Chain A
């Protein structure tokens, strides 16, 4: 079976972002001050743990960003675009039921008329096609089987965790120039200025134990149940990780150039440049955000509908809409950071070292790049990590309003939107909602905790004004 790689637009940008991050990491490694700050972030237990959790989400998202098409039997390439994550989760994706079933259930949620062996029908919940199909007598064997599978999975997770610890100790032994066992001991009893390795190991232990148990159960059951059309909820939740990450990061990619450019220009050149830019962001800011995004998305929707034929697959169409959504949110969301940077630049431009540079005849662009930008980068960084979680949460709201990602795309917002009315059912269908909220909460909490640590490390005064709602604290221009 041969594969044809497919590069969707958001894939290209995601990998570009990975490259940019790698470049930034290289720059950090070479700059002592930045290295010190990042060291402080990862030396805090909370920073290390949240970074590890974020790392897992990012790995899932990246695996979901490697897309390809399979060659079918007739030699043509299939229409369906799949990703590396799909390949890894193919057992989950393939095992669909007919409709709702509860987590770890063996029987369907709804009752049907079943034909009995001796003729005649009885009204009962039918057995699932895959969930617990291997059990002879579900009532007797179910509990034991679930425990056995969970334990086997957890044991596997534990083994992976031990392997991970050994590899980490081995790598650090070379770095610390000591023996393997000395390195293990130092992981347990860290010396001063060590990173919070112990927190990393604890996080990895908990995560691997949980993931192992879930994987063990997933071999025979639907761990988080199935949705209305019988699709595995765990699979959907994992597929939604990429959507959340893309919205949280690519939007920033759009925001940053605009915000940095306009903010620095307004603060440095003042005069009419400042007036024009201030007018721009006051105008943009005064439009209710959701309405602005909604209007833009509606228009993109019409555009996509009219150019239906230029997209060769559903995945490409959904991807175009996701990208458009990121661009729209980015272009409407730069005002907060721009205002912050303008205020900071206004202060910085009066400082001695900038005046000195000007006296030496250094030009405006060079001063901005060499003297101002490096001194506001902590503000940029803090804003980026703080905005990320807000954007992930905003996706759900926008999907509810009806202007979020494409309805066929997996996203937590779409999951919530599809399942929110099912709470009125009898018996209650709660698992799609809980799965979506749970995954979203894990990602956003990790991001928020990480942002908190980053803010402490890069801005010890913590004087950065950054409320959740940028409009709520608006200082109203110059008072």
Chain B
């Protein structure tokens, strides 16, 4: 078990190096630091001296891969690639363009993200599973047709619509909850409620439809027939037996996103003014701050790989027949 986990963690290293190479290539080779300086200083009327100064201030003045001015090992280590990419492996994210420490920003901003993403995940899962089981309970009737078509209609609505409509109706017209913002302590609940509600509604269509196919596969199995033959009511069969077995593929499939809950949701956070990692990233994209974007890419990839590992481990937990090799 431990050896397996260790090997999988080692396997993550080449993937992370690949991720780093891709982002480094995108950010610094295709789009040279000179370009970045020009964007930040304004495209027109830029002197070479101003560019050089900007690069020196923000630490982009080193060569990309090999530094001919240094000798020995330093020729490879005193480069932009070493500075900007390999340092990420020690979770040393460096400084943003405005001089703030990225690692500290990430540490403070992940909690608001989690405060939104975790309830969305848990409540969303419960709502979706319940909706899927209800539609199955009414299978063969008109209600099933209405339900399935309703799921498809729900997933055809842009998530932006849910956010905008939710903010407008609940926060502006009815004034039940604040439109946006965030607060600490018990106060946070009133800010969290609306984004969570909106996100759960936006995910209901596709989620419930997907879980329905899983449960439909499940109710064709022998144990369901046995349970019915024992004379159990259909509701009991569905919510006691099918639910338990159907949750196995659902939970193992959902484990992969667990670590990513820390990084939050880009659009929801920025619409509701949540000071989390999602809005952090979106602000960085808009300000073209590549140091932050690169850090977030690295963090996201690392958490995704962790999620894959957790998925594999969860298979062995729920199904003793699966052996890790």
Distance (Å) between the CB of A374 and the closest chain B CB?
25
In this assembly, does B192 line the interface, its C-beta being within 8 Å of a C-beta of chain A?
no
The docked-state distance in angstroms from the alpha carbon of A400 to that of B157 is 16
Chain B minimum-CB-distance residue to A393: B158
Residues of the B chain whose Cβ atoms lie less than 8 Å from the Cβ of A472: 253-254, 256-257
Residues of the A chain whose Cβ atoms lie less than 8 Å from the Cβ of B158: 393, 396-397, 416, 437, 440-441, 444
B-contacting 9-mer, from A36-44, A129-137, A288-296: A288-296
The docked-state distance in angstroms from the alpha carbon of A291 to that of B278 is 11
Interface string of A166-180 (1 = CB under 8 A from B): 000000000000000
In this assembly, does A359 line the interface, its C-beta being within 8 Å of a C-beta of chain B?
no
**Interface size of A by Cβ–Cβ distance < 8 Å?**
54
Chain B minimum-CB-distance residue to A291: B297
In this assembly, does A448 line the interface, its C-beta being within 8 Å of a C-beta of chain B?
yes
Distance (Å) between the CB of A300 and the closest chain B CB?
9
Our count of residue pairs bridging A and B at CB distance below 8 angstroms stands at 148
Q: Which of B156, B207, B210, B322 contacts A441 (CB 8 A)?
A: B156
Residues of the B chain whose Cβ atoms lie less than 8 Å from the Cβ of A279: 14-15, 18
Distance (Å) between the CB of A4 and the closest chain B CB?
32
Q: Which of B160, B207, B263 contacts A416 (CB 8 A)?
A: B160
Chain A minimum-CB-distance residue to B285: A294
Q: Are A287 and B256 in contact (CB under 8 A)?
A: no
Q: Are B160 and A302 in contact (CB under 8 A)?
A: no
Q: Are B266 and A287 in contact (CB under 8 A)?
A: no
The docked-state distance in angstroms from the alpha carbon of A420 to that of B166 is 13
Knowing A291-B300, A444-B156, A476-B312, the reply to whether A463 touches B305 (Cβ < 8 A) is: no
Q: Are B267 and A402 in contact (CB under 8 A)?
A: no
Q: Are B256 and A471 in contact (CB under 8 A)?
A: yes
Which residues between 2 and 34 of chain A lie within 8 Å of chain B, taking CB atoms? Answer: none
Which residues between 411 and 449 of chain A lie within 8 Å of chain B, taking CB atoms? Answer: 416, 420, 423-424, 433, 437, 440-441, 444-445, 447-449
Knowing A295-B293, A474-B256, A474-B308, the reply to whether A400 touches B267 (Cβ < 8 A) is: yes
In this assembly, does B245 line the interface, its C-beta being within 8 Å of a C-beta of chain A?
no
Q: Are A291 and B160 in contact (CB under 8 A)?
A: no
Q: Are A288 and B263 in contact (CB under 8 A)?
A: yes
Chain B minimum-CB-distance residue to A288: B300
Q: Are A423 and B18 in contact (CB under 8 A)?
A: no
Q: Are A302 and B31 in contact (CB under 8 A)?
A: yes
Q: Which of B161, B267, B304 contacts A471 (CB 8 A)?
A: B304
In this assembly, does A283 line the interface, its C-beta being within 8 Å of a C-beta of chain B?
yes
In this assembly, does B103 line the interface, its C-beta being within 8 Å of a C-beta of chain A?
no
The docked-state distance in angstroms from the alpha carbon of A452 to that of B205 is 14
In this assembly, does A305 line the interface, its C-beta being within 8 Å of a C-beta of chain B?
yes
Q: Are B285 and A401 in contact (CB under 8 A)?
A: yes
Which residues between 260 and 297 of chain A lie within 8 Å of chain B, taking CB atoms? Answer: 279, 282-288, 290-292, 294-296
The docked-state distance in angstroms from the alpha carbon of A447 to that of B22 is 34
Distance (Å) between the CB of B297 and the closest chain A CB?
5
Distance (Å) between the CB of A269 and the closest chain B CB?
21
Chain B minimum-CB-distance residue to A466: B210
10 new A-B contacts at CB < 8 Å, known A299-B31, A468-B155: A287-B300, A288-B263, A291-B300, A294-B285, A305-B43, A416-B158, A423-B168, A441-B156, A444-B158, A463-B217
A-B pairs, 3 with minimum CB distance:
A468-B206, A283-B18, A476-B311
Residues of A within 8 A of B (CB): 279, 282-288, 290-292, 294-296, 298-299, 302, 305-306, 389, 393, 396-397, 400-403, 416, 420, 423-424, 433, 437, 440-441, 444-445, 447-449, 452, 462-463, 467-469, 471-477, 479
Residues of B within 8 A of A (CB): 14-15, 18-19, 22-23, 26-27, 30-31, 35, 39, 43, 149, 152-153, 155-161, 164, 167-168, 172, 206-207, 210, 213, 216-217, 253-254, 256-257, 263, 266-267, 281-282, 285-286, 288, 293, 296-297, 300-301, 304-305, 308-309, 311-312, 315, 322
Q: List 6 A-B contacts (CB under 8 A).
A: A298-B31, A302-B39, A393-B158, A401-B266, A462-B216, A468-B210
